[in-house]
Amino acid sequence: MSNARLASRYAKSLIDLATEQNQLETIYADMKYIHAVCNANQDFVNVLRSPIINAGQKNSIIDAVTKSNVSSLTNSFTVLLVKKGREAVLPEMATAFIEQYNAIKGIHQVTLTTAVQVSDDLKKSIEEKVKSAHQFASVELTTKTDEAIIGGFVLEFNNNIVDASIARDLRDIKKQFLNNEFISKI
Amino acid sequence: MHNWLSNNKKNAAITDVKNQVGGLVIDVAEKILRKELSNKAEQEAYIKQLAEGVKLN
């Protein structure tokens, strides 16, 4: 159902258009907004994907949701999507746009997982550490909390995971006690 | 030959005990660590210390 290639093509053209019109930052903010709306409100996504609701209705729904919060360029972009019958991929498009924007700007997404909420100071220092270790131009840090890791932290970036959690330490030690070399394993 | 066989059995038994004790120790260690790290300040101090030492690449 979702179409990543289609989404990234539309996103790319929107990026090109936005750069051409010097509105990249504005459109980026708009796409972030749409992304947030789609994440927060499943009904909106359902409307976009519904085959029963006709184009005119969809247009007015999208207008009602986004018009007061996005620029005219984004607005005409959504109108164009509806006209072309591609409104179903709007959520993916917003995601793809943000990804491509990050790639252009050299922004790297880093996810930090900890057992409890940590202070901003600590987040900053970890951010700096990742930046200097990998020569990232800039870093966008998202934080998650997961009690199951007990302590320490888990960092995810660029498809890498740095697991410095206590849960992992315990798991590693536990592994050493699982096998008994003196019993034949047949 | 019999000596070798019984030696092997002995080792198997010892390893089994070692593994069982190890498992128990880890269970206890997990409980203690959870308790030790149950307050925010301890967590942050630990993460800070960890972040100093960890190699990211």
Verify that A44 and A116 share a domain, yes or no.
no
Q: What is the CA radius of gyration of chain B?
A: 20
Domain span holding position A167: 106-176
Nearest to A113 by CA among A71, A152, A62: A152
Verify that A91 and A125 share a domain, yes or no.
no
Report in angstroms the alpha-carbon separations of A1 from A5, A86, A92, A118, A140: 12, 12, 11, 39, 29
Verify that A24 and A42 share a domain, yes or no.
yes
Verify that A146 and A99 share a domain, yes or no.
no
Q: Which of A103, A123, A148 is the last residue of a domain?
A: A103
**Predicted complex ipTM exceeds 0.85:** no
H and E: helices and strands count for chain A: 8, 4
Convert the pLDDT of each residue in A77-112 to its tens digit.
999 999 998 988 999 999 999 989 998 888 888 899
Q: For chain B, which residues lie within 8 Å of any Cβ of chain A, measuring from their own Cβ?
A: 8-9, 11-12, 15-16, 18-20, 22-23, 26, 29-30, 33-34, 37, 40, 43-44, 46-48, 50-51, 54-57
Q: Which secondary structure element, helix H or strand E, spans residue A161, and what is its range?
A: strand A160-165
Verify that A98 and A112 share a domain, yes or no.
no
Q: Check CB contact under 8 Å for A114 and B22.
A: no
Q: Which of A80, A103, A126 is the last residue of a domain?
A: A103
Q: Check CB contact under 8 Å for A180 and B26.
A: no
Does residue A184 sit within a domain?
no
Q: What is the pLDDT at residue A167?
A: 92
Please report residues of A whose CB lies closer than 8 A to that of B6.
Answer: none
Verify that A19 and A43 share a domain, yes or no.
yes
Please report residues of A whose CB lies closer than 8 A to that of B11.
Answer: 182
Looking at the 3D structure of chain A, how many domains does it have?
A: 2
Q: What is the CA radius of gyration of chain A?
A: 22
Please report residues of A whose CB lies closer than 8 A to that of B34.
Answer: 150
Q: Which secondary structure element, helix H or strand E, spans residue A143, and what is its range?
A: strand A138-145
Position A7, amino acid: A
For chain B, the residue count is 57
